Chains A and B, each alone.
Chain A
Amino acid sequence: MLPHRSRLAVLVFLTPPLLLYGVAVLLPIVQSLVLSFFSWDGLSDMEFVGLANYTRMLTGDAVFWRAFGNALGYLAICLVLQVGGALVVASLLASLRRGREVIKTLYLLPAVISTVAIAFLFQRIYSIDPAGLLNQALAAVGLGGWQRPWLSDVHTVLAAVSAPEGWRFVGLYTIIIYAALLAVPRELEEAARLDGASSWQVFAHIRFPYIRPVFATTTIMAATYALRGFDIPYLLTNGGPGQSSELITTYMYKTAFTSTDYGYASTISVFIVVECLVAVGLILLVLRRKAHR
């Protein structure tokens, strides 16, 4: 129990950031929630429509569900590249004796490059005419038949817009997981190895359980970022061709600022908030269950 003066100090120091958080984060969410029950084009009077926007979103909007499906695909690709990739790279880093700092810096570099530059870079990498890096590489290894306009092909575009986002943050999550791996007690690993455990067994039964809390946090961070992913798909394809790379976020943006349907856009934004909360809940549930086994 904190003494009275300490409790007051905590209260004094916590109040301003909590107020700021309330105004900057919670208030807009509440406003979006309120606006989602209205039809409003930004100019005419707001009209209360009850749950009509939700009914339309859940039962009458094929583009929304297409965007939701794409968003799940985008999430899966980002998670595999970011968290899976980071786990692999961090594990390899932990086993390296020299050159760790150089490799860490190289992996982290994309995280500090501006989004627009990344989009521009990948536009060139995926180009077919003139052939970009990817298509040139395919031709060089005798896979010329696989060459294609990656951003214009409806079958490849979703993966093509997800990959830059995955690539961009793999270094960041590598650093976090690598730091957690460094904290794994060496004596535990050595004891396991003396007992004849393989590298995989050491990883699966000692290292990973030890870093599970950090891994959970990293997965939550990556998942919420991916579910709110917007910039790279928007800049690379604007959701196209057709709706092949349309995400819920890009669809919400267009609904608000192209269609000027602010009420319906708010409904979609409420869905994004709920979707993020559900994703975080599911991740925690899965990782906790595994921890209890």
Chain B
Amino acid sequence: MKKMLTAAVAAITAAALAGCGGGGGGDAANVNPAGKVEPRRISWLLSRPANGTVITVMRQLADEYAKSHPGFSLNLITTPDRPSFIQKYETLAAANKLPDLFDTDATPFAQKLARQGRMLDAGKLLTSLGLYTSYRKSALDYQRFDDGSLYTIPFEYQMEFFWYNKALFKRAGVKVPASLDDMPATCAALRRAGVTPIALDGQDQWPLERYVAYQPFRVAGPGYLGKLKRNDAKFGDPAGQKAANWLGALGAAKCFPDGFSAKGYTDAQNLFTSGGAAMYNIGTWELSSLATTKLNPAVRADVDYFTLPTVPNSVTAPNEFVTSSGIGMAVNAKTFDPLVRDFLKFALAKYPAAYAATGALSPTANVKTTIPSDATPLYRRAVDQANSVGTKLAMPWDTQLDPTTNTRLQQELVLLVQGDIKPGDFTRTMDAALAQNAPKFFTK
């Protein structure tokens, strides 16, 4: 693994040699290039599980397309984890060698790529393929940049819930928290009953970062984050202060497991599914683990979920919480040709039905999810919840803040929740980080 660091240094210099910034774009608005469809191998750089549903379905569709287009193949470049993917993605972008298709969130980095004309206008592409209106509005909204432009195509639709264990709640004599403000007291009661309140994957950092988004979304709405990331709002503002104080209170009430910062994704899931934790904040991508007969029989009947609690005078509705359409797929404007368009037209038209047939929620609203035969009643309830989701999105902060501020936020959050720093220290550090870094990514 020493090689990893050497590779990192080499990657910086390789990128410097090959790219040296700027240029390299095609015509981002030309979604219907002239010419003949000439089959070749096209590549897609992905940040998705190698044997996950999206890849499996797209591979099947590519094989089907190849039958009528000899010479065509889809080269799926998968990377084992998000940090490795980001290193590869950013190095390829710097070297101007991005493949035909590549995954990206609507991050400030991606927005720079879009501004340079290196990503095809996905809104125009979907419209020209006659597919735009079939997508769920919130699935597309999740992919948009601040200015409303759309440069990535969603392949999934997820809702995030608080899964909880009814038996453990009963043992501790607590009810589902009616308000976010009730959560510290709920945790304290669960701890008194000898139960770990919330299972948390601290190692991946984004699960804890979700919690910093909740109070501001309820007390100030999604607009606060929009201003905060541009340094037009502060962590010291009332919404940010409420978040910092609330997180400090969650930590003081020992809501999360001891040593959570070193716990991984499967540790958190195992803790909840084995009956060791009372709550688990995770999305519908885990439906097959939490709402089917695969779930541990000892807890199966006790598992239920609730959506993000509101607060008094909440400006967002109970049916508005974190819903996402996952990492999107961008189309390289430089290599976009009639073949890529033709393949996308074929694949994107067939994808929703094939994807929904696996029991997953499609990013489009024109198909019905097939409920698996081993599903518990909770599965259908969760799927049906998608039909009543409100219009305001609680965006995950890790895709919105500039990357340096985001890294600092993830670090400081752990210290805040562990009680190593006070909310006031947290606020000062984060406002300083924001003031220093946001202007580099967001021009006023």
B262 to A236, Cβ gap below 8 A?
yes
CA distance in complex: A222, B411 (Å): 30
Question: Do A231 and B1 form a contact, CB below 8 Å, given A237-B261, A257-B86?
Answer: yes
A262 to B262, Cβ gap below 8 A?
no
B113 to A43, Cβ gap below 8 A?
yes
Q: Could you say which residues of chain A place their CB within 8 Å of the CB of B196?
A: 129
B86 to A258, Cβ gap below 8 A?
yes
Q: How far is the CB of B440 from chain A (nearest CB, A)?
A: 8
Question: Do A128 and B258 form a contact, CB below 8 Å, given A230-B4, A257-B87, A260-B109?
Answer: yes
Q: Could you say which residues of chain A place their CB within 8 Å of the CB of B260?
A: 152
Q: Could you say which residues of chain B place their CB within 8 Å of the CB of A149?
A: 258-259, 261-262
A86 at the interface (CB under 8 A from B): no
Give the contacting residue for A254; candidates B5, B407, B414, B415; CB below 8 A: B407
B257 at the interface (CB under 8 A from A): yes
Q: Give residues 209-257 of A contacting B (CB, 8 Å).
A: 225, 228, 230-232, 234-243, 249, 252-254, 256-257
- Return the chain A residue nearest B276 by Cβ: A129
B404 at the interface (CB under 8 A from A): yes
Interface string of B338-352 (1 = CB under 8 A from A): 000000000000000
CA distance in complex: A249, B440 (Å): 23
CA distance in complex: A40, B15 (Å): 11
Q: Could you say which residues of chain A place their CB within 8 Å of the CB of B203?
A: 238
Question: Do A262 and B15 form a contact, CB below 8 Å, given A129-B257, A152-B261, A257-B87?
Answer: yes
Give the contacting residue for B411; candidates A28, A242, A261; CB below 8 A: A242
A127 to B411, Cβ gap below 8 A?
no
Q: Could you say which residues of chain A place their CB within 8 Å of the CB of B205?
A: 238
Q: How far is the CB of A162 from chain B (nearest CB, A)?
A: 15
Q: How far is the CB of B204 from chain A (nearest CB, A)?
A: 9
Q: Could you say which residues of chain B place their CB within 8 Å of the CB of A154?
A: 415, 418, 420
- Return the chain A residue nearest B259 by Cβ: A149
B116 to A43, Cβ gap below 8 A?
yes
Q: Could you say which residues of chain B place their CB within 8 Å of the CB of A152?
A: 202, 258-262, 414, 418
Question: Do A239 and B411 form a contact, CB below 8 Å, given A149-B262, A230-B4?
Answer: yes
CA distance in complex: A129, B262 (Å): 11
Give the contacting residue for B259; candidates A43, A129, A230, A238; CB below 8 A: A129
B50 at the interface (CB under 8 A from A): no
B15 to A42, Cβ gap below 8 A?
yes
Interface string of B254-273 (1 = CB under 8 A from A): 00011111101000000000
Q: Could you say which residues of chain B place their CB within 8 Å of the CB of A258?
A: 86, 403-404, 406-407
Q: Could you say which residues of chain B place their CB within 8 Å of the CB of A27?
A: 13
CA distance in complex: A34, B419 (Å): 43
A126 to B262, Cβ gap below 8 A?
yes
Q: How far is the CB of A225 from chain B (nearest CB, A)?
A: 7
Q: Give residues 84-127 of A contacting B (CB, 8 Å).
A: 115-116, 123, 126-127
Q: Could you say which residues of chain B place their CB within 8 Å of the CB of A230?
A: 1-2, 4-5
A201 at the interface (CB under 8 A from B): no
B201 at the interface (CB under 8 A from A): no
Q: How far is the CB of B273 from chain A (nearest CB, A)?
A: 15
CA distance in complex: A42, B18 (Å): 10
- Return the chain A residue nearest B1 by Cβ: A231
Q: Could you say which residues of chain B place their CB within 8 Å of the CB of A41?
A: 21, 109, 112, 440
Interface string of A10-50 (1 = CB under 8 A from B): 00000000000000000110011001000011111110000
Question: Do A151 and B262 form a contact, CB below 8 Å, given A42-B21, A44-B22?
Answer: yes
Give the contacting residue for B93; candidates A43, A115, A252; CB below 8 A: A43
CA distance in complex: A40, B403 (Å): 15
Q: Give residues 412-444 of B contacting A (CB, 8 Å).
A: 412, 414-415, 418, 420-421, 437, 440
B12 at the interface (CB under 8 A from A): yes
B262 to A32, Cβ gap below 8 A?
no
B8 at the interface (CB under 8 A from A): yes
A253 to B5, Cβ gap below 8 A?
yes
Q: Give residues 389-409 of B contacting A (CB, 8 Å).
A: 403-404, 406-407
CA distance in complex: A128, B260 (Å): 10
A269 at the interface (CB under 8 A from B): yes
Q: How far is the CB of A255 from chain B (nearest CB, A)?
A: 8
Give the contacting residue for A262; candidates B16, B112, B404, B415; CB below 8 A: B16
Q: How far is the CB of B155 from chain A (nearest CB, A)?
A: 24
Q: Could you say which residues of chain A place their CB within 8 Å of the CB of B261?
A: 149, 151-152, 237, 240-241
Q: Could you say which residues of chain A place their CB within 8 Å of the CB of B109?
A: 41, 43, 260
Q: Give residues 100-157 of B contacting A (CB, 8 Å).
A: 109, 112-113, 116
Q: How far is the CB of A15 from chain B (nearest CB, A)?
A: 23
- Return the chain B residue nearest A126 by Cβ: B262
B259 to A46, Cβ gap below 8 A?
no
Q: How far is the CB of B291 from chain A (nearest CB, A)?
A: 26
A259 at the interface (CB under 8 A from B): yes
B207 at the interface (CB under 8 A from A): no
B17 at the interface (CB under 8 A from A): yes
CA distance in complex: A31, B11 (Å): 11
A35 to B12, Cβ gap below 8 A?
yes
A260 to B403, Cβ gap below 8 A?
yes
Q: Give residues 112-164 of A contacting B (CB, 8 Å).
A: 115-116, 123, 126-129, 149, 151-152, 154
| A-B contact list, 14 entries, CB within 8 Å | A32-B12, A40-B16, A115-B1, A127-B259, A128-B259, A149-B259, A154-B415, A235-B1, A236-B262, A237-B262, A240-B411, A240-B414, A257-B83, A259-B407
Interface positions of B (Cβ within 8 A of A): 1-2, 4-5, 8-13, 15-17, 19-22, 83, 86-87, 90-91, 93-94, 109, 112-113, 116, 196, 202-203, 205, 257-262, 264, 403-404, 406-407, 411-412, 414-415, 418, 420-421, 437, 440
Instruction: Identify the 7 closest CB pairs spanning chains A and B, nearest first.
Output: A149-B259, A231-B1, A42-B94, A115-B1, A151-B262, A31-B13, A259-B404
Apart from the given pairs A41-B112, A129-B257, A240-B261, 6 other A-B contacts in the complex at a CB distance below 8 Å: A27-B13, A32-B12, A41-B109, A42-B94, A45-B20, A259-B407
